[in-house]
Every structure is written in C-alpha cells, then in structure tokens.
Amino acid sequence: MPTTDRRRTSARRESLLGDQPGAFASARYQRITPMKARRVTQMIHGLPVDDALALLQFAPQSAAKTVYKVLESAIANAETTEDLERADLVVSNCQVDEGPTMKRWRPRAQGRATRILKRTSHITLVVTPLPKEEKKASAKGESKNRKKGKA
C-alpha cells in the first residue's frame, strides 16, 4: 500500500520518516553493546541497500549479522507495504539506542564481587528511495565512467 493510501500513520513512522516515502525495521533487546552496533551502522549509512548488504555480509564485526537481518526486513517492508523498488532504496537513517542492561556479579578475591554489565541495543534502520534528480545524476555519472573505461 503506497503512502498516499495510508489512513493512519503510527507515531513511530511519523518520527522516522514524516511524509516522505520509505520504510523502517527495528530489532529490540539485541544482546550487543550499542557502541559496537553503532560502529557497524555508521559504515552503511547513506549507501544503496545492495551495497550495504554486501558490506555487512563480509564485515568481521559480530553486530553485522544482526544489522544485516534488520536491513533485509526494512527492504522487505519497503517492497511489500510501500511498493518501492529495491534498486532505488538507500539506507537513510540508522539509530542504535541503548536497551535495558542486565546486571550480573562475578566473584573476586577476598570475598569481593564485581558487577558485570550485559548491555542490550534497540537497532532501527530506515530505507528511503533516491530522489529523482539524484537518480538522473547518478545515471549520468555511470554512463561517463563506462565511456572512460572503454576508451
């Protein structure tokens, strides 16, 4: 269903996308620290979705697997609910928020105990289509590069 046919929009969608077309997906309570997840999401911010998926597939970080799944979900949401084409989608917004922290105790010397913090993350990715003028500019740039490569 295109955005124009939508009757009600959720507050979450309104805060992430506003009136522009696009889709988002989120994974909540993931057992990865937010700092480690942010490193991965910063790598893919602004990339076309196919390039971002390829980058995540071969990234050595453990958070890349979770972010890959969230990105695939966002792409599927864009294709099914918004009728957007996969080739036009770009990762426009990446948010990694801190979830609840589990507190555990580890025994130490002389009867002491130290706290272990097991952090969780809420990962949200937003994909939007490229604006029309950027599509034209990127198509012209590709054709120039192809001509240079052949000459």
C-alpha to C-alpha distance for 40 and 56, rounded to whole angstroms: 8
Q: Would you say residue 138 has pLDDT above 90?
A: no
- 15: pLDDT confidence band, cut at 50, 70 and 90? confident
Helix (H) or strand (E) holding 114: strand 113-118
Instruction: Give the separation between CA 91 and CA 68, rounded to whole angstroms.
Output: 12
Residues 33-42 have a mean pLDDT of 96
Residue 139 has pLDDT above 80, yes or no: no
Q: pLDDT tier at 151 (50, 70, 90 boundaries)?
A: very low
Q: What does the domain layout of the chain look like in residue ranges?
A: 3-150
Return the CATH class of domain 3-150. Answer: alpha beta
For 12, 20, 68, 96, 131, the CA distances from 57, given in Å and listed in that order, are 28, 29, 7, 19, 27
**Residue 6 φ/ψ, nearest 5 degrees:** -70, 130
What mean pLDDT comes out for the span 27-45? 96
